[in-house]
Structure 1
Amino acid sequence: MSKQESGAIAREIQTQILVLGGLAALMWITEFIDIFFFRGRLDAFGIRPHSFIGLRGIFLAPFLHGGLGHLIANTIPFLTLGWLVMLRETSDFFVVSIITMFVSGLGVWLTGSPYSIHVGASGVIFGYFGFLLLRGYFERSFAAILFSLVVGFLYGGMIWGVLPIQYGISWQGHLFGFIGGAIAARLLAKPKKRY
């Protein structure tokens, strides 16, 4: 590996750390501001299903959390799955994040209980999971399939989160986030080269 190539890899890793670390820091700063200055009232900016004003939550909800426990539970999978999305190309992370935010948020807005408020990054996290799991199916390359199998082995238990089995958890956000990840996997799939 040449010095130029190793320098490019080092810059890419630095960019990935800055992007993921910056977004995670933004979530933590927002939560601390919400706890200490607003006493949880910022959560009102989350997704409010069937309400026109609730549409603003589609892109705000992932940065809001229902307390430190909720934030801690989302931070580690956000960092790990987000980094796995970035592994091939950092730009994939931005595309997958935007698609899953939109699909997850809109799905919650359309199907959630009318008087509920949905917050948290879990819809986006399930989007990363769906993207990583289904990228191998859409690309059909050995490396992509192997990567999908490894992700399925390590994180396969997450799939139960798309079902309405736990009260107070936005399974709609998880389900539509996963669907958004699948859409992103299809859109970003690199066609197999034919010789």
Structure 2
Amino acid sequence: MHSDPILRKSALLTLSFVGLLWCIKLWEWLLDWSLFTLGVYPLSPQSLVGILFGPLIHGSFAHIATNTFGVLILGTALLYGYPKSRWWVLATIWMLSGIGVWLFGRPSFHIGASGLTHGLFFFLLFVSMLRRDRRSIALMMMASLLFGGMFWGVLPSEKGVSFEYHFFGGTAGVLAALLFWRWDPKPVEQQYDWENEADSE
């Protein structure tokens, strides 16, 4: 069986982004630096830059390890399933999650890619409800099976976890689904003989 070149390219692009996240964390560790001040600090004009850089910064190796699997799987699903809208979806989630945290978050630095992962999860969920084709439903089922706990991640939880990033990331994902669900043509679905026979009856 030949591998799908689009899937392979999507996975490599996502893996490259994950590699960037790990390079940043290793750079912090090797130089004994901390880049948490590049995160989002609500209502601080100097922290507006955190909207861009906050998702790239992680507080610990455990923090980045937690986000790695979600970014890799959900990011690949987006790039593979929605090639025309994918960059717009990513930009919407990235920017709106940061803006939401900047406007309404608790007074602390908010960092990490979990806003992005929650945005991707909720995008895949809601876009499948709007499109209802086999590919989008399959991607939604995979995301729900592996990351169903993200439903609860948008609620206040343990101390030190930015549920605001989760909440506004998820909200941005829903908005992206509403904005871009028509952009990608539905994949051509194979018609089986038994389906043709059923149609002719």
**TM-score bin, normalised by smaller chain:** 0.7 to 0.9
Report the equivalent of 2:117. 125
Alpha carbons of 1:165 and 1:86: their partners in 2 closer, same or farther (altered >3 Å)? same
Which of residues 49, 66, 73 is equivalent to 2:59?
Answer: 66
* C-alpha distance in 2 between matches for 1:15 and 1:121: 21
Task: Give how far 1:152 is off.
Answer: 2.5
Which of residues 18, 21, 32 is equivalent to 1:27?
Answer: 21
* C-alpha distance in 2 between matches for 1:126 and 1:101: 11
| RMSD of aligned Cα (Å) | 2.3
Which of residues 78, 81, 95 is equivalent to 2:71?
Answer: 78
Alpha carbons of 1:135 and 1:113: their partners in 2 closer, same or farther (altered >3 Å)? same
Q: TM-score, normalised by structure 2?
A: 0.83
Alpha carbons of 1:28 and 1:146: their partners in 2 closer, same or farther (altered >3 Å)? closer
Deviation per CA, 1:135-189: give whole Å up to 9, x if none: 1222244553454344324322211110002111000100000011111111221
Alignment of 1:144-163 (within 5 A): 144-145=136-137, 147-163=139-155
Gaps of 5+ in 1: 1-5
Task: Give how far 1:94 is off.
Answer: 2.0
Partner SS for 1:125: helix
The answer to whether the Cα contact below 8 Å between 2:39 and 2:51 also exists between their aligned partners in 1 is yes
The answer to whether the Cα contact below 8 Å between 1:46 and 1:54 also exists between their aligned partners in 2 is yes
Deviation per CA, 1:116-151: give whole Å up to 9, x if none: 101100000000001011112222445534543443
Report the equivalent of 2:193. none
Alignment of 1:27-176 (within 5 A): 27-40=21-34, 42-114=35-107, 116-141=108-133, 143-145=135-137, 147-176=139-168
Report the equivalent of 2:11. 17
Code of the residue aligned with 2:162 in structure 1: it is S
Deviation per CA, 1:34-86: give whole Å up to 9, x if none: 1221432x111111111011110111011110011100000011001111112
The count of corresponding residues between Structure 1 and Structure 2 is: 185
Code of the residue aligned with 2:157 in structure 1: it is I
Q: State which structure, 1 or 2, has the greater radius of gyration over its C-alpha atoms.
A: 2
Gaps of 5+ in 2: 187-201
* C-alpha distance in 2 between matches for 1:109 and 1:20: 26
Percent identity over paired residues: 33
Report the equivalent of 1:181. 173
Code of the residue aligned with 1:31 in structure 2: it is K
Report the equivalent of 2:198. none
- The structure with the largest helix share of the pair is 1
Of stretches 88-97 and 63-72 in structure 1, the one that deviates more from structure 2 is 88-97
